[in-house]
């Protein structure tokens, strides 16, 4: 039977559910209670944590993510996004399961392309794919891939661990994933010069935060980490602040933006800070230990920049002489582009 919505009342926008809707309908509806659950679902948390084993403290860290809006390199995305979430605990993901939903008319070549891409990506990250489910599903116009990554660890941090006085550091640049998506999508890259498109496509290679997250955590100076996914850097810093219960003062002008991201933002009228940015990691660092973390991240082949400080009060973003109080995660610019295209088509 076709899907029937519940009517226009309370109709939801594209993208991640708004925080108030998640609070009402998701976070409290978690089935049976278990004493093994250490980290329960909550706004801004990247993964769940279960206590396992006997006397020695061991934890199972679990995170699931879907790939819904891309067709090119979907297997690469699918492995990286859930691996990134687990890595924000400070631990290397070890195992992965997948659910692959293919549209009617998909071929064996489509299955081979997706599975080989996932295999190669997982192998490079040291992740074993241990199972899943694959089917052809009616009503789809593109593949949908959902992955769940796992790690077994003796310790971890979450996005909720930031403390007042901590320095907020950010790896790479803003809008990494969104830059690559726009560059490869013919609906959006029309009018962009070839050099910009070529440089933007290379940001696919920056999508993983596994090495830099593990290296940063190894310093002992990290209190919290969060991956910048939907809503970009601005959404992630809001979620990190909300999860930790600590205010945040951020210098928007100090947030690095790659030249190709800036060119795309200017051409399409998007805000790089609100552009989906898997591959960018936010790190709450003990004050005075910033150099240690920057050095560790650099040893992992990335870079980290101090962009703000956690403090009491609200989330305040400074841009030039203006200050903006951030009261909720923004709509991701990718979804805004999709909605604009839909309105144009009708």
Do both 191 and 269 map to the same domain?
A: yes
Write down which residue in 90, 120, 153 finishes a domain: 153
Do both 173 and 315 map to the same domain?
A: yes
Residue 2 has pLDDT above 70, yes or no: no
- Return the DSSP state at 11: P
Nearest to 231 by CA among 279, 275, 173: 275
Nearest to 50 by CA among 40, 60, 41: 60
Mapping DSSP onto H, E and C, the string for 12-67 reads CCCCCCCHHHHHHHCCCCCCCCCCCEEECCCCCCCCEEEEECCCCCEEEEEEEEEE
Do both 148 and 206 map to the same domain?
A: no
252-271: per-residue pLDDT in tens? Answer: 999 999 999 999 999 999 99
95-129: per-residue pLDDT in tens? Answer: 999 999 999 999 999 999 999 999 999 999 999 99
Do both 51 and 181 map to the same domain?
A: no
**Residue 30 belongs to a domain:** yes
Q: Which domain holds residue 200?
A: 167-345
- pTM, two decimals, is 0.92
Residue with token string 């939801």: 12
CB neighbour list of residue 58: distance below 8 Å, 6 or more residues apart: 51, 52, 152, 153, 154
Write down which residue in 153, 180, 206 finishes a domain: 153
**Lowest-confidence pick of 190-199, 298-307, 331-340:** 331-340
**Residue 87 belongs to a domain:** yes
The tally of domains found in the chain comes to 2
For residue 60, the domain's CATH number is 3.30.1330.10
Both tokens assigned to 12? 């939801």
Q: Where are the alpha helices (DSSP H) in 73-193?
A: 74-87, 108-125, 176-184
Do both 45 and 128 map to the same domain?
A: yes
From CA 246, how far away is CA 243, in angstroms rounded? 8
For residue 225, the domain's CATH number is 3.90.650.10
Q: In whole angstroms, how large is the CA radius of gyration of the chain?
A: 20
Nearest to 84 by CA among 308, 250, 301, 280: 280
**Residue 134 belongs to a domain:** yes
Residue 5 has pLDDT above 60, yes or no: no
- Identify the residue with better confidence: 8 or 32: 32
Give me the pLDDT at residue 225, please.
98
**Residue 9 belongs to a domain:** no
Both tokens assigned to 4? 């029937």
**Residue 105 belongs to a domain:** yes
Give me the pLDDT at residue 46, please.
87
């Amino acid at each position: 039977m076709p899907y029937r919505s519940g009517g226009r009342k309370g109709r939801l926008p594209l993208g991640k559910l708004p925080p108030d809707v998640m609070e009402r309908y998701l976070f409290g509806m978690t089935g049976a209670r278990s004493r093994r659950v250490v980290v329960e679902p909550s706004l801004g948390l990247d993964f769940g944590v279960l206590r396992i084993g006997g006397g020695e403290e061991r934890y199972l860290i679990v995170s699931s993510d879907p790939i819904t809006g891309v067709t090119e390199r979907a297997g690469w995305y699918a492995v990286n996004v859930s691996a990134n979430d687990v890595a924000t605990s400070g631990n290397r993901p070890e195992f992965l399961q997948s659910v692959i939903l293919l549209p009617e008319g998909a071929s064996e070549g489509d299955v081979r392309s997706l599975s080989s891409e996932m295999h190669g990506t997982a192998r490079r990250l040291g992740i074993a794919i241990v199972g899943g489910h694959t089917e052809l599903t009616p009503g789809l116009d593109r593949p949908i891939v959902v992955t769940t990554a796992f790690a077994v660890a003796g310790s971890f941090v979450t996005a909720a661990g930031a403390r007042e006085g901590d320095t907020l550091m950010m790896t790479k640049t803003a809008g990494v994933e969104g830059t690559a998506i726009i560059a490869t999508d013919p609906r959006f890259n029309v009018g962009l010069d070839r050099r910009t498109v070529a440089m933007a496509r290379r940001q696919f290679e920056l999508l993983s935060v596994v090495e830099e997250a593990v290296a940063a955590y190894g310093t002992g100076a990290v209190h919290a980490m969060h991956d910048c996914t939907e809503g970009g850097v601005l959404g992630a810093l809001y979620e990190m602040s909300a999860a930790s219960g600590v205010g945040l003062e951020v210098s928007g002008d100090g947030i690095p933006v790659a030249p190709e991201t800036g060119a795309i933002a200017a051409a399409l009228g998007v805000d790089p800070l609100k552009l989906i940015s898997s591959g960018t990691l936010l790190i709450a660092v003990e004050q005075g230990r910033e150099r240690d973390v920057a050095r560790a991240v650099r040893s992992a082949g990335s870079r980290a920049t101090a962009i703000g400080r956690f403090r009491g009060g609200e989330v305040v973003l400074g841009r030039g002489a203006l200050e903006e109080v951030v009261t909720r995660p923004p709509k991701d610019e990718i979804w805004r582009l999709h909605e604009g295209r839909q309105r144009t088509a009708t």
